[in-house]
Structure 1
Amino acid sequence: MVTLVSTIPKIRDALRATFRSGLTRPIPWRQHQLYQLARMAQNERELICDALKKDLGKPKTEVLMAEVGGVIEGALKSAERLPEWAKTEYPDVPDWQKSWKPAIYKAPRGTVLIISPWNYPMILTFQPLMGAIAAGCTAVLKPSELVPTFSQLLDEIVPKYLDQNAYRVVNGAVPETSKLLELQWDHIFYTGNGRVARIVASAAAKHLTPLSLELGGKSPVVIDSAYDIDLAAKRILWGKCNNAGQICVAPDYILVQRDKQDELVQAFQKHIDAFFPKGALDSPLFGSIVSDLHHKRLTSLLSRTKGKVVLQGRADAARRRLEPTIVKDVADGDSLLEEEIFGPILPIVPVDSLDQAINFVNARPHPLVLYAFSDNERMKQQLVSETQSGGIVFNDTFQQLTVNELPFTGVGESGYGYQFMKHTYDTFTQLRSSIDMPKEAEAHLAMRYPPHSEEAVRTLTAAVYTPIPPSRL
């Protein structure tokens, strides 16, 4: 059911009143909400799997592994670690400042807005919410209208588990999202594409609202010709097949030594046959494309490529299905390099050197993640030092998402702001600095008051004359 636009300001105001009441402040209350979130994911998993099957054709195992399991694990770990995260910090300071009791309080930002996408709608809705709950914020969840069954399910099950005074679901499309963005929030967390992100950022700027933007982009794969090509192909293909390639960290294109292209293609063929012995078109282990529009977009990209389609996946427009497709000899300016593919098409760009591969990557907007397959430490360090990306992953794809202790972020066009576990908690937390000056310190503060004696001036300005060591270049 679409949320009435006229009720959206009232929802925001009610959540703000809840926040000001102090309901969300106690640590046990936050832990209870996190446990309830885990219970919701666990108890309602069959309904969640059915909804995502209907909306996206997602395989049940994939939903349980990547969405339901991730929410349960993240919520439980957040609840467990929250008392430590929330502790007031007492920084180490010089002896003469210790009596001031310098402290850093962890304060919730307030009432926040979480706008989630369609491709992984459960984990990308509740992963940010875990941090908002842990921080003590109230929140509106705005799931994508492109997954209507799942979004409606959230509207039904969230109130059964989470406190409605603190957490609400708003459903709808452009009018409802536009109304949400007209309002002032204490933080907005948006996951999606760069076009919509610019709209979100412009709306937030009117209120000076801080933002987290997780946007994706064209994540390249660089393969060292000395690496095990068969293993690289297997791991790349697995990363590309998750949700039929419809994920922000999917390998988008491959840069490989020119004389290794055919070997790589043969390896892809071997592993496609192994993953889907009867083909991916009807496999319950392979997802569908989200909409007719996106299916047409993908087939259009393929129809316009100047590369050689060496492994042609079958397409079924009526069911929005598209099998993994490999294209080699893709050159700069090709249709497959125009935009983030976000589907099961994998272009191979031949290069003649690592430097050429690095230049190719650097000539484009900074990706969310750079993948590289190599056992050569010098090559790895060159990629680290000479490229920019939100993350850099060696010798695998997709699996970095399972390391909860690593921050997940983009850079430039791929977004900004950090998330995952404590990093998400930190996103929704204000570090509130404090000192408590004792009366007894007055004797030491006396020199700051005018008029200043010569001795006071020397003491107050001593830092200006601090010796600077010589450079060692």
Structure 2
Amino acid sequence: MSTLTYTQLEEIPKIHAAAQAAFRSGRTKSVEFRKAQIVQVGYMLQDNEDRFKEALHSDLGRPHQETELLDFNPTYAEVKVAYDNVEKWIKPQNAPFGINWFAMKPRLTAEPKGVVLVISAFNVPVFLTMTPLISAIAGGNGCVLKPSEQTPAFSALVAELVPKYLDPELYHVINGGVPETTKILELPWDHIVYIGNARVGRIVATAAAQHLTPVTLELGGKNPVVVDPRADVALTARRLLWGRFSNAGQICVAPEYVLVPAHFQDALVGALKDAYAAFYPDGPATSDSFSRIVTSAHAARIKRMLDATEGTVVVGGDADVEKRYVAPTIVRDVKEGDSLLSDEIFGPVLTLVPVKDEDEAIAFIRAREHPLAVYVFTPDAAFERKVFDNTMSGAAVTNETVISAGVPGLPVGGVGSSGYGYYTGKQGFEEVIHWRVSLKNPGWVDRLVLHFRFPPYRVCVFAEGLPEVHQGDERGAAPRPGKAGKRWGFWLLFALIGVSSVVLTRVKRPLLK
């Protein structure tokens, strides 16, 4: 297994300069080049699947099946989506037809921003590192990857493989901790994608602001679940536990706490205990289907939160910090102000918060910062709509958890404190390009149409105006469109331009002999 070597600080500016120079060469403009590099990302993963699985088992104690489900499957889907659609995504777009402007051929062109910096997280590292890279390549950018130092086996493997499979001048890997990341953030990147926690997100955004660098932030948060007592309780329990305990709870879109009607809590707890026993028949400590916490420091932090809770532990609750083990845990009767409701747990602890009804649940969610996802378990469309219409989140998911992040065509992104921007699919591509505006205004337009713009000024009969608007009545109704004024000027202009185009075309046409 590869050994992680940190990038020397003095090499970081050189890597930045090399990527910038390679981008300026112009070879990323070619759609053929982009597609070739995108598919190489797929080959890099496919050819080395076993090595990646072993690396993530070393870093996270993760079962291979979870790596396939959480990392490989959605990343392969991103490769296919970008490869199949990049040609369509970069196709220039004409502006909507306008009688005053069509002769100038106004259009938008998707231009790459330059060199994109990707600082990814440890928890689902293949997906969180490679999908922003795929977006950067599709957008015609160079890219520098900074994988997490907390997953040393994975990060060393990425540093080994990227220059073997991708253009080594355009695509680079920098490894390191705080000093290396600090050095990276001193440099002027053209776009930064950061995936991690809000504390570091603020540092990244502040550093980017010094260079006016645009940023995409995906910051996670405490994702709530609202349970309708009419929901299928067995199905709800299985999907909640799977979403919370996969990867030992270290998933940014994992359900964090469950708002359950107080009278229904016992029924839900019973179903959760049944599902727990089915998941770990011999106990989770020896199960080959349960991951470990990424570091002992993270395990100790989760243990402190569990030790301080005033809720009742239903199952689990034990931890072995040195072995990075925190048992999958369910805690019921958790109340406002509890340690488990403070910071994001980011571990295998499912918290049950009893409430009176969905109105109290909605108020509970709205009193907190916007999460990355809100989950609802209900058979009733009206219940679902009520919760989603009265909350804000990056995703709104019914009768399921986590898997929305892996659906092709659905971007991953937050709102407010859970982040901004996207890093997958077409929306991820649009994050790392800018729409360049172009016009081609022929000289005859000045003679026939726009001569009035030059001094000395005189009245122009062709100026576009607004439709007539009637004010609302005394009850305060909003203004509504009235009968539009006569627009004979525009039709006359249209006829003049059409005739002029024909005349000019005939004048320029060579005479037939």
Give the partner amino acid of 1:178.
Answer: T
Give the 3-state SS of the residue equivalent to 2:100 in structure 1: helix
* Mapped partners of 2:193, 2:289: distance in 1: 31
Give the aligned partner of residue 91 of structure 1.
95
* Mapped partners of 2:73, 2:410: distance in 1: 18
Q: Would the aligned equivalents of 1:41 and 1:71 in 2 still touch at CA under 8 Å?
A: no
Give the aligned partner of residue 176 of structure 1.
180
Give the 3-state SS of the residue equivalent to 2:93 in structure 1: coil
* Mapped partners of 1:14, 1:402: distance in 2: 33
Shift of 1:470: 4.7
Residue 348 (structure 1) aligned to one of 343, 347, 352: 352
Q: Count residues with an aligned counterpart.
A: 469
Residue 444 (structure 1) aligned to one of 431, 449, 474: 449
Shift of 1:468: 2.3
Q: Would the aligned equivalents of 2:405 and 2:411 in 1 still touch at CA under 8 Å?
A: no
Give the partner amino acid of 1:179.
Answer: K
* Mapped partners of 1:447, 1:160: distance in 2: 61
Give the 3-state SS of the residue equivalent to 1:318 in structure 2: coil
Residue 18 (structure 2) aligned to one of 14, 19, 28: 14
Shift of 1:77: 2.4
Q: Would the aligned equivalents of 1:281 and 1:315 in 2 still touch at CA under 8 Å?
A: no
* Mapped partners of 1:174, 1:121: distance in 2: 18
Moved more, 325-334 or 65-74: 65-74
Give the partner amino acid of 1:208.
Answer: L
Shift of 1:294: 0.8
* Mapped partners of 1:158, 1:410: distance in 2: 29
Q: Residues 27-106 of structure 1: matches in 2 within 5 Å?
A: 27-106=31-110
Shift of 1:124: 0.2
Residue 315 (str. 1) matches residue 319 (str. 2) = yes
Q: Would the aligned equivalents of 1:281 and 1:314 in 2 still touch at CA under 8 Å?
A: no
Residue 160 (str. 1) matches residue 161 (str. 2) = no
Give the aligned partner of residue 128 of structure 1.
132
Shift of 1:315: 2.5
* Mapped partners of 2:49, 2:92: distance in 1: 37
* Mapped partners of 1:185, 1:53: distance in 2: 33
Q: Residues 292-331 of structure 1: matches in 2 within 5 Å?
A: 292-331=296-335
Give the partner amino acid of 2:280.
Answer: F
Per-residue displacement from partner, 1:113-154 (whole Å, max 9, x unpaired)?
Answer: 000011111110001000000011001000011011111111
Residue 256 (str. 1) matches residue 257 (str. 2) = no
Query: Which 4+ residue blocks in structure 1 deviate beyond 3 angstroms?
Result: 469-473
Runs (5+) with no aligned partner, structure 2: 479-513
Residue 378 (str. 1) matches residue 382 (str. 2) = yes
- Which TM-score applies when normalising by structure 1? 0.97
Give the aligned partner of residue 468 of structure 2.
467
* Mapped partners of 2:107, 2:152: distance in 1: 46
Moved more, 432-441 or 88-97: 88-97
Q: Would the aligned equivalents of 2:231 and 2:377 in 1 still touch at CA under 8 Å?
A: yes
* Mapped partners of 2:381, 2:80: distance in 1: 37
Give the aligned partner of residue 278 of structure 1.
282
Shift of 1:222: 0.3
Give the 3-state SS of the residue equivalent to 2:125 in structure 1: coil
Residue 334 (str. 1) matches residue 338 (str. 2) = yes
* Mapped partners of 2:470, 2:384: distance in 1: 34
Give the aligned partner of residue 413 of structure 1.
417
Shift of 1:314: 3.8
Give the aligned partner of residue 143 of structure 1.
147
Give the partner amino acid of 1:448.
Answer: R
Give the partner amino acid of 2:468.
Answer: P
* Mapped partners of 2:359, 2:42: distance in 1: 47
Per-residue displacement from partner, 1:229-283 (whole Å, max 9, x unpaired)?
Answer: 2211111111112101001101000000001111111111111111121111121
Q: Would the aligned equivalents of 1:405 and 1:421 in 2 still touch at CA under 8 Å?
A: yes
Give the 3-state SS of the residue equivalent to 2:77 in structure 1: helix
* Mapped partners of 1:199, 1:80: distance in 2: 36
* Mapped partners of 2:369, 2:182: distance in 1: 28
Q: Would the aligned equivalents of 2:81 and 2:408 in 1 still touch at CA under 8 Å?
A: no
Shift of 1:69: 2.7
* Mapped partners of 1:385, 1:70: distance in 2: 29
Q: Residues 101-116 of structure 1: matches in 2 within 5 Å?
A: 101-116=105-120
* Mapped partners of 2:364, 2:398: distance in 1: 18
Q: Among the aligned pairs, what percent are the same residue?
A: 43
Give the partner amino acid of 1:451.
Answer: P
* Mapped partners of 1:413, 1:61: distance in 2: 32
Give the partner amino acid of 1:450.
Answer: P
Moved more, 400-409 or 167-176: 400-409
Runs (5+) with no aligned partner, structure 1: none
Give the 3-state SS of the residue equivalent to 2:469 in structure 1: coil
* Mapped partners of 2:278, 2:357: distance in 1: 31
Give the partner amino acid of 2:339.
Answer: S
* Mapped partners of 2:132, 2:249: distance in 1: 22
Give the 3-state SS of the residue equivalent to 2:435 in structure 1: strand
Give the partner amino acid of 1:467.
Answer: E
Per-residue displacement from partner, 1:290-347 (whole Å, max 9, x unpaired)?
Answer: 1111111111111100111112344233321122111111000000001111001011
* Mapped partners of 1:304, 1:418: distance in 2: 36
Shift of 1:228: 1.4
Q: Would the aligned equivalents of 1:67 and 1:120 in 2 still touch at CA under 8 Å?
A: yes
Q: Would the aligned equivalents of 2:229 and 2:264 in 1 still touch at CA under 8 Å?
A: yes
